[in-house]
Amino acid sequence: MENELTGLQVYKFGGASVKDAAAILNLCRIVRDFGLSGPLLIVVSAMGKTTNALEEIYDLAYHGRDYSAQWAALVAYHQRAVLDISNQQLPAETDVDVVSVELNDILAELSTALASLERDLTMGYDKGYDQIVSYGERLSVALVSEALALTFSWGRVRDIAAAGLIKTNENWREAQVDWLATEKAINSAVHHLIGSGIDIIITQGFIGGTDTNHYTTLGREGSDYSAAIFAYCLRAESVTIWKDVPGLLNADPKIFPDTVLYPEISYQETIEMAFYGASVIHPKTLKPLADRHIPLRVKSFLDPAAPGTLIHDCQHPPLVPAFIRKGGQCLLSFESKDFAFISEENLEVIFGALAQARLKINLMQNSAISFSVCTDFSEMRVQRLLALLQGQFRVQYNSALTLFTIKHYDTASLERLTAGRELLLEQRTRSTFQFLVRE
Ligand code: ASP
Ligand code: MG
């Protein structure tokens, strides 16, 4: 069994790399030119900004508002891509309707799911979210597998449903993986396909499923994590994440000029950068890969021959400062109502409530009578926290903040980022400097 999978590679293509027909056909070329030294498993995200669009549609539907304009745009966007792919890949006499049957089926199913949601809200927001927003990846896999089959033939290409393979609990919108069950399901499905001559397997990123056959999602931008889950379970030879940047950079080129590429970097460094909010890789991606020593490449789908960044077990010289910006933050501070010190007992209550409200701490600090945390802002979750704690604490918060982190900071890098800014909170260790400012 093991031998069949020798040399298995995992490729992950994010939203930008499947955003339209041209991008999808570029993906097919990358697979042809770089991906076929052995079996290949491809994980794809929803096309372009589809997940955002679905979030909006879901939210409108859930609140009983009109979403027809957004729906029409979503349908047109996907149909346009099918049409463009077909026009470029198929002989002129082929009936495009045949090609888009699967896409239209999925759209019809989604439309029914949205309509039934309007009638029945007993599911709860987060569970309903996963049932609807997961359609983005299902649509993109239908399209991309179509394009791959047109390029390589259906005899070699097969799509598989991630929801039946990545087994999770019911922690909606950030489901946790049941590793043993997942490893078993993935191995059995993939060995079976490869044993029957399929060498290009494609599946959805971002989504998993429960024992009760409900969809779950792994957290926004979670497709990288999906790729790592498949790679871990299949003991893949390597994972490549194809992006619209040349590799792992020391800063986001959209925000900072003069960025530097890391040609090689350790798992440890990358985990920390992802944790602080470097948007290049989902933070959960690295651990499964590091556990099984699977190298991760980050490469540009616009320049696929360029080496990109190799992330693996390695030693490297000290790195240049890395600048990481995490927007959408909120600063919460808690004071006990009787001006008592913030004690361990108080902290236990605060941490418990943060966990219950599902707010994750990005930074924290305490003084004698107050305790402050910086978290990602979510109106709903913050309100929930307030409801839990307001009896015991005076809670204040500011939203619309940005958290900056400089790893391997030096005087010049510190000066460059903080000059002229009011720092609402700052924290410094030997290697890392973090501060919070208004957006
Ligand atoms: N489509 C999902 C998102 O946009 C997952 C991903 O792209 O990784 O969050
Ligand atoms: Mg994405």
Ligand 1 pocket mutation, candidates 221, 229, 241, criterion most atoms within 8 A of CB = 221
Whether residues 229 and 346 fall in one domain: no
* Ligand 1 centre distance from Cα of residue 14 (Å): 7
Q: Any idea which ligand is nearest the CA of 54?
A: 1
pLDDT at 2: 45
Q: Within a domain: residue 275?
A: no
Of 67 and 416, the one with more pLDDT? 67
Last residue of a domain, one of 243, 275, 295: 243
CA 425 – CA 179 distance, rounded (Å): 38
Take atom 8 of ligand 1 and give the residue whose Cα is closest: 221
pLDDT in tens, 228-248: 999 999 999 999 999 999 999
CA 188 – CA 191 distance, rounded (Å): 5
pLDDT at 94: 60
pLDDT at 346: 87
Confidence of residue 87 (pLDDT cuts 50, 70, 90): confident
In the chain, how many domains are there?
Answer: 2
Note whether 359 and 382 are within 8 A (CB): yes
Residue 75's DSSP bridge partners are: none
The answer on pLDDT for 131 being more than 50 is yes
- Arithmetic mean of pLDDT, 2-24: 89
Q: Within a domain: residue 58?
A: yes
Q: Within a domain: residue 99?
A: yes
pLDDT at 110: 97
pLDDT in tens, 366-383: 887 889 999 999 999 999
Take atom 6 of ligand 1 and give the residue whose Cα is closest: 221
CA 222 – CA 197 distance, rounded (Å): 29
pLDDT in tens, 26-57: 999 999 999 888 999 999 999 999 999 999 99
Whether residues 90 and 190 fall in one domain: yes
Whichever domain contains 40, its CATH number is: 3.40.1160.10
- Arithmetic mean of pLDDT, 300-313: 97
CA 48 – CA 17 distance, rounded (Å): 8
Point out the ligand 1 atom lying closest to the alpha carbon of residue 14. 7
Last residue of a domain, one of 243, 268, 301: 243
Whether the CB of 221 sits within 6 Å of ligand 1: yes
